[in-house]
Structure 1
C-alpha cells in the first residue's frame, strides 16, 4: 500500500489545480486562483458571473463582469487592480485573459453542485 504525507498531497493538488499566472512586469505576477482553491462564496459568485455572461438576450456589461471575475479569482486585490489598469478596458484582452484562465482550470473545475 502506498503511503503519502500531507505535503505530498498538497504538492499534487498544487500541480493539478494550480493558478493561472500573468506577469505584469519583472516585479508583479497576478495569480488567478483555480476555482477549487477559492472559498465557497467566491466559487458561487464566479458561477453566477459565468451564468450572467452566458445568458442569451441578457444585455450585460461584459467588461464589468469580466473585471469582477478577475478581481474575484486574483490572489490579491491590488494585483487585480494593476492587471485591470494595464488592460485599460480592452474587452478583447479581458476576454482572452478569462478564456486563458478557463482553459487552465478546466481539469480541476468543479460543477456548481460540488460547491
Structure 2
C-alpha cells in the first residue's frame, strides 16, 4: 500500500489545479482554479458560463464578472479589468487560457 504525506498531496494538487497567473507590470494577478474556489463562487461561475451561451448575453460584462469571481483578491480583479479596458478580445483570450484544464465540475479522483 502506498503512503503519501499531506504536503505531497498539496504539492500535487497545486501542480494540477494551480492558478492562472497574469503578469501585470510588477504585479502578478492570480486567477484561481474553480476547484480552489469556495462552493458559492464555483456555483456562480458555472451559472455565468451557462449565461454566456445566451443570444443576447453581454460577453464583456459576463467575462468581467467571471474575472471578479476567480481573482484571488477583488483589488487584483479591478486592476486587471482596468488594464484590459473593456477589450473583449483580450478578455476572451484571458478566459481561453484560464479555461484550459480548469473546467468547473470536472474534478476527478481517479489516479492517472
Q: Does TM, normalized by the shorter one, top 0.5?
A: yes
2:11 is aligned to 11
Task: State yes or no: 1:68 paired with 2:83.
Answer: no
Task: State yes or no: 1:30 paired with 2:29.
Answer: yes
Output one character per residue of 1:31-81: Cα deviation in whole Å (capped at 9) or x when no partner.
1100000010000000000000013x3x12111100000010000110110
2:105 is aligned to 110
Higher helix share: 1
What runs of 5+ residues in structure 2 fail to find an aligned partner?
A: 107-112
> TM-score normalized by structure 1?
0.87
What runs of 5+ residues in structure 1 fail to find an aligned partner?
A: none
Question: 2 CA distance for matches of 1:110 and 1:47?
Answer: 8
Question: 1 CA distance for matches of 2:67 and 2:101?
Answer: 14
1 or 2 for the larger relative contact order (CA 8 Å, sep ≥6)? Answer: 1
> TM-score normalized by structure 2?
0.89
2:92 is aligned to 95
CA RMSD across the alignment: 1.5
The total of aligned residue pairs comes to 107
Output one character per residue of 1:79-112: Cα deviation in whole Å (capped at 9) or x when no partner.
1100000001101100110111001424xx424x
